[in-house]
């Protein structure tokens, strides 16, 4: 997190949290919840369903929950709605999520933050210069996984990507992804990398695209429990695809500002403003990305 604004300075979780629900067993993972007693009862009551829905979506994408066990702390925070989240390596592995007391319980199901943080668990920790890859995977896969799980409509995912991804383009004077640590390039530049990778992998014959690659990474032992070099991450992921697409894209984008022709990409995928076009050349590929 955090993909829609640049805040997130000093995430303080001073408020007491307590475990008051039974652990959730989802996709082979044990999720232990600790929910701040300062949150209203209706919000606390909605938290396990929110967490379970996100965990099922993420487990559905990866074939299992990314790690055997994680502790999830849900703290009260100032502001409005779901405020922020963060993954902590531990041990034990932890996710910290912060909600404002005014959070509407019924809206939690629709919220992306828990799924985003859980996707971080499926990727090894990386050096700060490669944070764009971590945040890009978390941002891209969170949306795709929730679309597959029926938590958001695929159309909404594509419209949002079309609206947000221009922020990931290099601006004048900026360098490649490894050289530019701005919020926009980290989150949306990383997401753009993932979308390009997903499309290119599928066009070259890897039927499962980025999902296939990331499942391979997880199967090779790559998760948030370990810290790996970015090359090892990319090589473990692409080994599952029989292609060098990820390393190739990385070589192209890491130290060189490479604008992506998004107009052409959206036309090929059939994302036309707020409409999806089924007569586009890659419409079937687009549908395959979000097919459950």
Residues that bind Zn ion (CB under 5 A): 1, 135, 138
Pairwise CA distance, residues 61 & 58, whole Å: 5
Q: Give the nearest distance from C-beta 138 to Zn ion in angstroms.
A: 4
Q: Give the nearest distance from C-beta 124 to Zn ion in angstroms.
A: 14
Quote the tokens at residue 101: 């007391």
Q: Give the nearest distance from C-beta 116 to Zn ion in angstroms.
A: 5
Cβ closest to Zn ion, residue 90 vs residue 292: 90
Q: Is omega for the bond preceding 91 within 30 degrees of 0, making it cis?
A: yes
Q: Give the nearest distance from C-beta 19 to Zn ion in angstroms.
A: 24
Residue whose entry in the numeric block shows the structure tokens 């990398």? 193
Return the DSSP state at 171: P
Buried b or exposed e, range 198-220, using 16+ CB within 10 angstroms: bbbbbeeebebbbbbbbbbbbeb
Tell me how crowded residue 234 is: count the other CB atoms within 10 A of its CB.
Answer: 24
Q: Are 123 and 233 in contact (CB under 8 A)?
A: yes
Cβ closest to Zn ion, residue 82 vs residue 282: 82
Cβ closest to Zn ion, residue 73 vs residue 135: 135
Q: Give the nearest distance from C-beta 241 to Zn ion in angstroms.
A: 24
Q: Give the nearest distance from C-beta 247 to Zn ion in angstroms.
A: 23
Q: Are 187 and 136 in contact (CB under 8 A)?
A: yes
Pairwise CA distance, residues 281 & 266, whole Å: 10
Cβ closest to Zn ion, residue 131 vs residue 245: 131
Cβ closest to Zn ion, residue 195 vs residue 282: 195
Pairwise CA distance, residues 103 & 40, whole Å: 9
Cβ closest to Zn ion, residue 137 vs residue 206: 137
Pairwise CA distance, residues 61 & 292, whole Å: 9
């Amino acid at each position: 997190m955090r993909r829609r604004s640049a805040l997130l300075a000093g995430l303080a979780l001073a408020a007491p949290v307590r475990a008051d629900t039974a652990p959730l067993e989802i996709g082979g993972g044990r999720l232990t919840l600790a929910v701040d007693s300062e949150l209203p009862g209706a919000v606390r009551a909605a938290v396990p369903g929110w967490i379970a829905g996100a965990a099922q979506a993420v487990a559905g994408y990866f074939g299992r929950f990314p790690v055997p066990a994680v502790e999830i702390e849900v703290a009260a925070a100032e502001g409005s709605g779901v405020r922020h989240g963060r993954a902590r390596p531990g041990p034990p592995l932890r996710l910290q999520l912060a909600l404002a007391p005014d959070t509407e319980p019924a809206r939690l199901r629709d919220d992306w933050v828990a799924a985003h943080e859980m996707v971080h668990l499926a990727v090894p920790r990386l050096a700060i210069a490669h944070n764009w890859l971590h945040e890009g995977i978390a941002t891209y896969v969170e949306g795709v996984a929730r679309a597959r799980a029926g938590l958001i409509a695929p159309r909404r995912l594509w419209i949002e990507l079309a609206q947000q991804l221009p922020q990931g383009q290099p601006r004048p004077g900026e360098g490649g992804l490894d050289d530019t640590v701005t919020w926009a390039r980290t989150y949306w530049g990383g997401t753009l990398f993932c979308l390009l990778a997903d499309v290119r992998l599928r066009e070259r014959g890897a039927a499962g695209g980025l999902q296939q690659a990331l499942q391979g990474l997880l199967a090779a032992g790559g998760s948030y429990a370990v810290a790996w070099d970015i090359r090892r991450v990319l090589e473990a992921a692409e080994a599952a695809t029989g292609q060098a697409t990820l390393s190739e894209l990385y070589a192209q984008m890491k130290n060189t500002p490479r604008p992506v022709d998004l107009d052409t990409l959206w036309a090929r995928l059939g994302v036309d403003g707020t409409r999806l076009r089924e007569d586009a050349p890659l419409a079937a590929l687009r549908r395959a990305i979000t097919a459950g």
